[in-house]
Amino acid sequence: MAGEKVLVVEDDESLAAMLGDFLQEEGYRATIAGNGRRGRESLAGESFDVLLLDLNLPDGNGLDLFREIRGLAHPPIAILITGYATSDTAIAAVHEGAYDYLTKPLEMKVLRIALERAVGRLLADRRNEALTSLLRVIQMINTMDEPQKLLHRIVEILVAETRSSGGSILVYDEKEDVLRIGATTALSGDDVRRVTIRPGERISGWVLERNEPVLLLGSVCSHPLFRHLDPREDVQSSIIVPLTARDRRIGVLTLHREKASGLPTPAYTGVDVEVFRIFADSVAAAITNGRILTELRKARADLEYQKSMLAKKNEILTQSNRMLSEDNIRREQELRMAADIQKAFLPTQGPDIPGIDLAASLVPMHGVAGDFFRYRLLDGGHLEIRIGDVSGHGVPAALYMVLTETLFGDERTATESLPEVLRRVNESLLGYFDGAEHFVTVFDGVLDLAERRLRYVKAGHNPPVLFRHRTREAVLLDADGVFLGAFPYDRFEEKDVLLEPGDLVLLYTDGLVETSGGGTERFGLDRLIRGTLENLHLTSAGQMKRILDEVREFSGGRRTEDDRTVLLLRVEDE
């Protein structure tokens, strides 16, 4: 943990004390409130990351307090606790935005997992915000030609998108070996021109020289390295990150949040440091190249050789796309042609592997789909499994699905680096996709059949679920990595897990769990996990049929709003 702030609203003094001790031992910063009134006072005075809220409070209904909290500018993630409420109350609370629901007596193991997942949700939300802002920056850069205006616009967007109070970009002058202000929200005119900072001087110079980000909480004097500097008492927290490109110094990006006079504003955290490093990469690229579009065009030139190898398949895709734009009489025929092309890229029959039980199904929203899956034997006794989802629906998504599967290729080996495969595919997709209009999420894995060890990577896809037969547990197979085809990225994380006899791995696309029941209720991951755990005795084919039947029944037979794909891999009992 990185010291996330947790507010506990619990009237049971012994339980509250136990929770406080547990949270401190786990590395959290805990605040205890014995009733709803004190909880409201705490939330009015400062911001929190996670809220542990007892629904049964002496001075009111905890659910009412939860509803009030949702109206805050920066509400914490809520985990509700009760010893009396029915499952209907839990479901209602979750539908209203609660992240999780625990019952008394609390098990610390369960609480630990719930907190870890809640903090993981914080990380995911902040990353998503960063990616949205990054795409805005990229789109803006592509429409501007004047570097000076570009820097000011970048600062404005970053300040707005990250809920900061102000910020600056300092550009490194290699010839004079100094930092100069390229854009700022704080100074103007002669004041900007007079500011020069040498490497190692002040905070910005230290960050430039060390190429390390700095997170300041409170006054600058609170940091052991900068106690000698003049403090700004109005600043609540600051982040200073280096800007580098191709191992060259480009400059420094600074952002800060001021102390709020009204509603509390959350301070930056270690998670924000990671987020802003993503911004820093894009800003450095903008300064270095003037426009990111130039770099993308160069990347497209490097892909010409690969494009020539795909010429025949691209010709088919182009012809199909052209045919689909013709009159209504031919549309049905063309849709069938696109479906035939897509089916050629999907496995029709699973390999016969002793000890492995495979099953998969793709239910398209239309006649064709943007979802895809793959399983096939590789060299040296390894099995490749993959599932993915292209943004959008219908024929365009299906054609991009074919392109993506083509880029993964048929010649890969079992020993090839999985992060490198995703990096290569992402780089190739940038030559075809137009900005943020299309992207692809993917989960890709290789199973060593002898050791039963699964190596995997993930690019923004729903994490598959590993069902442990021996312990009856469900484990999410998550890993860091963003979706493919939107911007350059090479930080995909590879993980591995050892499968045991009877274990089941369930891969799926979001169309499965986001199926609507008619109102606001969705099928959901929890329902999928519960049903699968109750039927672990089934074969993969039986489990797949049960899942699809249950989803179809939940939706009331209504037309699907998205493609639904499921792939199951079961290790048979010895």
Q: Which two tokens stand for residue 278?
A: 């993503």
pLDDT, one tens digit per residue, over 422-442 is 999 999 888 887 655 789 999
485 or 60, which is more confident: 485
* Number of residues assigned to the chain: 574
Q: Is it the case that residue 525 has pLDDT exceeding 80? A: yes
pLDDT computed for residue 215 by the predictor: 86
297 or 31, which is more confident: 31
* Per-residue pLDDT band at 569 (split at 50, 70, 90): very high
pLDDT computed for residue 296 by the predictor: 45
Q: Is it the case that residue 374 has pLDDT exceeding 70? A: yes
Question: From CA 531, how far away is CA 537, in angstroms rounded?
Answer: 12
Q: Is it the case that residue 142 has pLDDT exceeding 60? A: no
- Secondary structure (DSSP) of 365-431: SSSS-SEEEEEEEETTTEEEEEEEEESS-HHHHHHHHHHHHHHH-S---TTS-HHHHHHHHHHHHTT
pLDDT mean over 172-197: 80
Rounded to 10 deg, the angle between the 108-141 and 292-302 helix axes is 100
How many CB atoms sit inside 10 A of residue 459's CB?
25
Question: From CA 228, how far away is CA 206, in angstroms rounded?
Answer: 14
Rounded to 10 deg, the angle between the 147-161 and 108-141 helix axes is 160
287 or 324, which is more confident: 287
pLDDT computed for residue 100 by the predictor: 83
* Per-residue pLDDT band at 293 (split at 50, 70, 90): very low
CB of 401 within 8 A of CB of 371?
yes
* Per-residue pLDDT band at 553 (split at 50, 70, 90): very high
* Per-residue pLDDT band at 44 (split at 50, 70, 90): confident
pLDDT, one tens digit per residue, over 442-451 is 999 999 999 9
pLDDT mean over 103-127: 84
pLDDT computed for residue 326 by the predictor: 53
* Per-residue pLDDT band at 341 (split at 50, 70, 90): low
Q: Is it the case that residue 90 has pLDDT exceeding 70? A: no
- Secondary structure (DSSP) of 443-496: EEEEEETTTTEEEEEEEBPPPPEEEETTTTEEEE-----PPBSSS----PPPEE
Q: 552 exposed, middle or buried (CB, 10 Å; 0-12, 13-18, 19+)?
A: middle
The bridge status of strand 77-82 relative to strand 50-54 is: parallel
Quickly list H helices, 227-357.
Answer: 270-289, 292-302, 304-309, 311-324, 328-343
Long-range Cβ contacts of 68-72 (<8 Å, 24+ apart)? 68/40, 69/43, 70/96, 70/97, 72/43, 72/263
Radius of gyration of the chain (CA): 26
Question: From CA 302, how far away is CA 12, in angstroms rounded?
Answer: 65
* Per-residue pLDDT band at 500 (split at 50, 70, 90): very high
Q: Is it the case that residue 14 has pLDDT exceeding 80? A: yes
Question: From CA 235, how far away is CA 255, in angstroms rounded?
Answer: 11
pLDDT mean over 145-157: 73
261 or 71, which is more confident: 71
What is the SS3 assignment for 521? coil
pLDDT computed for residue 124 by the predictor: 79
Q: How far is CA 153 from CA 16, 136, 380, 543, in A?
A: 48, 11, 53, 53
Q: Is it the case that residue 456 has pLDDT exceeding 60? A: yes
Question: From CA 65, how far away is CA 55, in angstroms rounded?
Answer: 9
Which of the listed ranges 58-62, 286-290, 450-454 does the model predict with the highest average pLDDT?
450-454
Q: Is it the case that residue 380 has pLDDT exceeding 50? A: yes
pLDDT computed for residue 295 by the predictor: 45
The bridge status of strand 178-184 relative to strand 248-258 is: unpaired
Strands of the 382-390 sheet, one edge to the other: 371-378, 382-390, 440-448, 453-459, 495-498
pLDDT computed for residue 540 by the predictor: 94
Question: From CA 534, how far away is CA 2, in angstroms rounded?
Answer: 36
pLDDT computed for residue 192 by the predictor: 64
pLDDT computed for residue 312 by the predictor: 60
Q: What are phi and psi of 568, to 5 degrees?
A: -120, 135
Q: Is it the case that residue 137 has pLDDT exceeding 70? A: no
What is the SS3 assignment for 196? strand
- Average pLDDT along the chain: 81
Q: What are phi and psi of 482, to 5 degrees?
A: -100, 170
Residues 6+ apart with CB under 8 A from 146: none
CB of 393 within 8 A of CB of 370?
yes
Name the β-bridge partners of 238.
216, 256
pLDDT computed for residue 67 by the predictor: 83
Q: Is it the case that residue 476 has pLDDT exceeding 80? A: yes
pLDDT computed for residue 458 by the predictor: 97
pLDDT mean over 142-168: 75
Q: Is it the case that residue 123 has pLDDT exceeding 60? A: yes
Share of the chain above pLDDT 90, in %: 30
pLDDT mean over 113-122: 86
Q: Is it the case that residue 23 has pLDDT exceeding 80? A: yes
65 or 286, which is more confident: 65
CB of 133 within 8 A of CB of 156?
no
Q: Which two tokens stand for residue 207?
A: 């960050």
Report angle CA 5, 6, 10 to the nearest 5 degrees.
155
Q: Which two tokens stand for residue 281?
A: 């990469």
Q: 443 exposed, middle or buried (CB, 10 Å; 0-12, 13-18, 19+)?
A: buried
pLDDT mean over 489-495: 94
Question: From CA 125, how far away is CA 350, in angstroms rounded?
Answer: 37
Question: From CA 271, how far away is CA 144, in angstroms rounded?
Answer: 31
46 or 478, which is more confident: 478
